[in-house]
């Protein structure tokens, strides 16, 4: 009986947080979710069609042959009692109607950036700033891309002071996990500050 009670307590003390992984087309969102997920990730990828090529800017990602049409989903346990549920958003403008649904209840977001197509980040930055959803910008360091420091990227994106910018490799599990930990810490500070502001 006691063990059943302790198991029930353990279940209620477990914390699951919802995180979005956003960014432009072909920036590595599906790759990041797949790299860090401890379960087989759910993917909704479809082959790029000729019709899609008329509206999707594939410059810089010429070899990309598929695109996410709804979302990616994965899960990672950061530590005992703390799991993150990852929702990768579609990158193209025509799928943005899905973002409002995916953003419901999210603790925060990772915005993946590619320095070769940095302007693709602006819509995601604007989206999360308008909704006051904490986010970090994770620069996916593609081979052959010019290297920029975090300060340079922050200035180019005109980010609010204190918004974290980190360098990562979306293919590497440890690198992706470090990004997620940084987001959870930052979002926790932001939510705590807002809570304190509301009671002062």
pLDDT given for residue 92 in this prediction: 62
User: How many angstroms separate the CA atoms of 30 and 45, rounded?
Assistant: 9
The dihedral over CA atoms of 113, 30, 19, 79, expressed in degrees to the nearest 10, equals: -110
Question: At residue 30, does pLDDT exceed 60?
Answer: yes
Do residues 138 and 113 lie in contact, with contact meaning Cβ atoms separated by under 8 Å? yes
Question: In whole angstroms, what separates CA 105 from the centre of its chain?
Answer: 14
Whole-model pTM?
0.80
Do residues 22 and 112 lie in contact, with contact meaning Cβ atoms separated by under 8 Å? yes
Top-confidence residue, 73 or 144: 73
Burial 96-114 (b: 16+ CB within 10 A, else e): eeebeebbeebbbbbbbbb
């Amino acid at each position: 009986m006691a063990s059943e009670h302790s198991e029930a307590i353990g279940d209620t003390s477990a914390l699951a947080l919802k995180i979005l992984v956003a960014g432009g087309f072909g920036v590595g969102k599906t790759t990041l979710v797949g790299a860090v997920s401890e379960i087989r990730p759910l993917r909704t990828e479809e082959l790029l069609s000729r019709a899609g090529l008329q509206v999707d800017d594939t410059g810089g990602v010429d070899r990309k042959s598929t695109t996410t049409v709804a979302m990616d989903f994965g899960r990672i346990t950061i530590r005992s009692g703390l799991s993150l549920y990852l929702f990768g958003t579609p990158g193209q403008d025509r799928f943005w109607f899905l973002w409002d649904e995916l953003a419901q209840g999210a603790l925060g977001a990772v915005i993946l950036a590619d320095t070769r197509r940095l302007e693709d980040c602006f819509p995601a930055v604007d989206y999360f700033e308008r909704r006051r959803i904490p986010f970090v910008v994770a620069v996916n360091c593609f081979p052959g891309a010019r290297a920029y420091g975090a300060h340079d990227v922050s200035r180019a994106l005109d980010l609010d002071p204190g918004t974290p910018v980190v360098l990562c490799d979306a293919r590497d599990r440890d690198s992706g996990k470090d990004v997620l930990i940084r987001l959870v810490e930052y979002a926790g500070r932001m939510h705590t500050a807002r809570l304190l502001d509301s009671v002062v």
